[in-house]
Structure formats: C-alpha cells, structure tokens
Amino acid sequence: MSDGLAPRRAAALAYMAVMKQRRTLEAALEHTPEFAAMSDRDRAFARAITATTFRRLGQTRTVLNGLLSRPLHETSEGAQALLITGATQLLWMDGAPHAVVSSTVELADARSDARKLKGLINAVLRRVDREGRERLKPTLPRDNLPDWLRDSWRAAYGPGTLSRMANAITVAPPLDLTVKDPDTREHWARALDATILPNGSLRRDTVGDVRALPGYREGAWWAQDAAAAIPATLLTLGPGSSVIDLCAAPGGKTMQLAATGADVTALDLSEKRLERVRENLGRTGLSATLVAGDALTYKPAQPVDAVLLDAPCTATGTLRRHPEAAWIKRADDTGRMARLQDEMIKAAAAMLKPGGQLVLCTCSLQPEEGEALAGRVAGRHRQLKESPIQPDELAGVESALTPAGWVRLTPALWAEQGGMDGFFIARFTKRAG
C-alpha cells in the first residue's frame, strides 16, 4: 500500500458522507473504515485534507471545472471526491505532487465508480499540479461559500465585510482558552506561550493536543473561542445569584458562570452532551446542577436571577472550525432555527424573577437568528424589555456594539490577531409585575 493511502481514502469517503448524508466532518471520518485504527498522524492528515477541502471547495472546483470537458458534478460520486480531495492537496497543502497523484489514481482503481476514470483523474491532477496556481488567480475566498450563504452575508454585511469574513474562514482558528481564576491569567499566558486578548482570553497560535498542555489536567482553563467567552460576562452575577444555562453542553459558558460563585443550573436536551459538561466541571473543580431536559418545557422550582440562552442555531459563525457546516446547512434552516429560538426566549422569560436578566446568544451570522430575532422580542414577549449592552462591557470589541445595544461579532474582527467566531448577543430584563 503506498504511503498515505488510508488517510487519503478516508478523506475522500468523508467528503462524500458530508455532501450526501449531511454528516459533520468528524462523524463522517469516524464512520470511514480504518479511521479508528489509524495512527494519530494519519488521522490528523485525513482531517487536514477534508477540512482544507471544505475551506477551499469553491476555488478548487473552479480549477477542476476549467480542466474537465464535462462539469465536475456530472462525474461519478467517487471520481468527484477523489478529484476534489486530490486537487485540494495539490493546490493548498504541502504534499509531494507525485504521491498525491499516484495515491489518488490507486484509490480510483479500487472503486467501481471511478476505475474507468483513472486515466482522466491522472491527467487532470497532473494539470492541476502544473497549471493550478495560475488558474487560481481569478478566484476569490468568497467563492468557497455556497451561493445562499454568500448572498445572505453580502446583503447583511456588505461586500467588504463579506470578503474579510470569507478570508478569515479559509484559515483554521488559533486556540483560545478561558482561565478559571483571572488572577492566574498572566502565569498561564507565560506557561502556555499565549497572548492575553483584550477580553481576557488567552490565545495560542498552535493548537495540537489540548490535553497535553500545562494546566489542562488541573483544570486551570478550558478551550473556548474568545467570541464565545463574551456572552456569559454580560450577566451580573456573584455568590448567591441563581442562573440557568439553558443550552449548556459542552459547558464552556456553564464553567464561566460557575466561576463567578453563582448557583448554576446547566440544562441540555442531550444526556450524552451533558456528560461533557460533567467531565469539564469535574476537571475544573467547578460545580453546577446538571439537568437533562428540554429548554422549551423546563420549569425551575423557583424563578431565577438570570438565564443564559445560547440557543441552537445554524452555527454559521463557527465555519472556521467546522468548514463543512456551510455545505450541510440549507437556506431554509435559518427560519426553522429562528422559530425555535423565539420559543426558547418565551420559555426563558417564564423562568426569570421580575428584574431578572436574560442574555440571548447564537453562534450564527444570519441576521434572522440575531438582529431580526432580538428586534421582535419586545413586541412578542411583553414581559421582556431591552437592556442595552454598554461599550465598557466589551473590552476590545466595542466596535461590535450595534446602535440597538446588541453585539455582532464576526470572523472579520481582530483579523490581524487570528480572528474570532461569529456571534450575536442581546440582553433583556424581565419587567416587574
């Protein structure tokens, strides 16, 4: 078997599973034969090929279509997957071209739907190697977004921000960490060779195996994107306050809430995902009451001081780490999620004491799951009123404050320092009486 064959096969199969079955990349890879038995190095290689494939799908397809007499989508599924993952390696990854071409042809030979096309695959990939860079010149990072997503971002943010966001998501994100005890931040920044971001998160350029880093085992910090660390800081909490984290797993925000000394209830629909919260709390020595339940029907024994609603969403703000999500989601998912989010806001309002605070956030860049959703709250849920977020609550991201007092974070922010995930955040209080 030639070197690198198994990870390359896994990458091509995973590509097909994402596109056809709308599986996440990680689930798709785990379902490929051999993946579990591969060395760490081969698994990392398979992940890198597939992640790069989705980050650069539009540009790579343009190059391939320019070299094929029939459009790529008319080729058999197996041949398409091999052409795309092979061309991705040639165009965007440092691999020996000979190894890429010969392995891809060998993989084609082993598939009934690609065997007849192995001569074509060989010829096209050789041309990608020779002419690819030139053929990429007229393409742009925004070509890598599905049409519906590119159109919605252009309409919401304008062409300049669209380009900056599209650029940002061609690159894998750095590793951001939230430190449990803010007084130890400088110590951990030195120990981890990390920089301290304006919001207090630590940032490392290299990711690697998080569990092997200093401070992981003793639970001194947890991995959490800088943008994701902002919503929990917008609740006023302390020892004695009661707060419900309504969609809690894997628990990044639960840990932030628990670290304030508040009495935290962490609720999630998924028992399995709640297990991650339990592990995270155990490792960091923080405590919260865990509840497996539905945010739409949960009723606390007593009304609480605060609710954090990190609602399920299309997650288009996290494409830097899940680039395949752009191709799994559809335009009509946005409206469906926004209706669910609205129901969750209603349920959250019922859990609050008069004067209690609700922070709503979504890791989506779709305005339907952000500005439009928040804009309807005061009209639809009369118990809630706006509680505008103030610039002095937003160290380093003051520019993300909207005129309405909401926060719109995008991957175009902090571009020089490695960007951040896209998030929308709004805050409300429950009217007295």
Ligand X SMILES: C[S@@+](CC[C@H](N)C(=O)[O-])C[C@H]1O[C@@H](n2cnc3c(N)ncnc32)[C@H](O)[C@@H]1O
Least spacing, CB of residue 241 vs ligand X, in Å: 18
From 51, 87, 156, 247, residue interacting with ligand X (rule: CB under 6 A): 247
Give the H/E segment covering residue 102: helix 97-109
Which range touches ligand X (CB under 6 A), out of 249-257, 370-378, 400-408, 409-417? 249-257
Site for ligand X in 355-384 (CB under 6 A): 363
Is there binding between residue 252 and ligand X (CB under 6 A)?
yes
Q: Quick one: 129 or 268, whose CB is closer to ligand X?
A: 268
| Six-digit token string for 432 | 């007295």
Nearest to 243 by CA among 294, 312, 308, 311: 308
Least spacing, CB of residue 144 vs ligand X, in Å: 24
Q: Please check if 294 is assigned to a binding site.
A: yes
How many residues form the binding site for ligand X (CB under 6 A)?
Answer: 19
Dihedrals phi, psi of 268, to nearest 5 degrees: -150, 150
Determine the 3-state secondary structure of 359 from DSSP: strand
User: Using CA atoms in the order 25, 407, 236, 284, what is the torsion angle rounded to 10 degrees?
Assistant: 20
Q: Quick one: 11 or 338, whose CB is closer to ligand X?
A: 338
Q: Please check if 11 is assigned to a binding site.
A: no
- Bridge-partner residues for 428, per DSSP? 358, 386
Which range touches ligand X (CB under 6 A), out of 194-202, 246-254, 323-331, 368-376? 246-254
Least spacing, CB of residue 273 vs ligand X, in Å: 5
Is there binding between residue 253 and ligand X (CB under 6 A)?
yes
Is there binding between residue 3 and ligand X (CB under 6 A)?
no
- Measured CA to CA, the distance from residue 304 to residue 311 in angstroms comes to 18
Q: Please check if 310 is assigned to a binding site.
A: yes
Q: Residue of minimal CB distance from ligand X?
A: 247
Q: Please check if 209 is assigned to a binding site.
A: no
Quickly count: other Cβ atoms within 10 Å of residue 86's Cβ.
32
Is there binding between residue 218 and ligand X (CB under 6 A)?
no
Quickly count: other Cβ atoms within 10 Å of residue 307's Cβ.
31
Q: Quick one: 229 or 413, whose CB is closer to ligand X?
A: 229
Site for ligand X in 320-339 (CB under 6 A): none
Q: Please check if 251 is assigned to a binding site.
A: yes
Q: Quick one: 60 or 410, whose CB is closer to ligand X?
A: 410
From 10, 51, 197, 248, residue interacting with ligand X (rule: CB under 6 A): 248
Determine the 3-state secondary structure of 308 from DSSP: strand
Q: Quick one: 82 or 407, whose CB is closer to ligand X?
A: 407
Q: Please check if 250 is assigned to a binding site.
A: yes
Is there binding between residue 268 and ligand X (CB under 6 A)?
yes
Q: Pairing mode, if any, of strands 202-204 and 221-223? A: unpaired
DSSP 192-244: TT-EEPTTS-EEES--S-GGGSTTTTTTSEEE--TTTTSGGGGS---TT-EEE
Q: Please check if 151 is assigned to a binding site.
A: no
CA quadruple 343, 346, 351, 355: dihedral sign: positive
Site for ligand X in 71-90 (CB under 6 A): none
Is there binding between residue 273 and ligand X (CB under 6 A)?
yes
Per-residue contact track with ligand X, 279 to 318, x per CB under 6 A?
A: ---------------xxx-------------x-x------
Q: Which long-range contacts (CB under 8 A, 24 or more apart) does 132-140 make?
A: 132/63, 132/87, 132/90, 132/91, 133/91, 135/62, 135/63, 135/66, 135/67, 136/59, 136/62, 136/63, 136/91, 139/58, 139/59, 139/62, 139/63, 140/59, 140/166
Least spacing, CB of residue 192 vs ligand X, in Å: 21
- Measured CA to CA, the distance from residue 135 to residue 137 in angstroms comes to 6
Quickly count: other Cβ atoms within 10 Å of residue 279's Cβ.
12
Q: Please check if 385 is assigned to a binding site.
A: no
Least spacing, CB of residue 264 vs ligand X, in Å: 12
| Six-digit token string for 365 | 């860049």
From 250, 323, 367, 418, residue interacting with ligand X (rule: CB under 6 A): 250
Least spacing, CB of residue 413 vs ligand X, in Å: 19
Residues recognised as catalytic: 363
Is there binding between residue 58 and ligand X (CB under 6 A)?
no
Site for ligand X in 198-217 (CB under 6 A): none
Max CA distance (Å), the chain: 75
Which range touches ligand X (CB under 6 A), out of 59-67, 190-198, 245-253, 425-433? 245-253
The answer to whether 171 and 188 have CB atoms below 8 angstroms apart is no
Q: Extract the annotated binding site for S-adenosyl-L-methionine.
A: 247-253, 268, 294, 310
Positions in the binding site for ligand X (CB under 6 A): 228, 247-253, 267-270, 273, 294-296, 310, 312, 363
Q: Extract the annotated binding site.
A: 247-253, 268, 294, 310
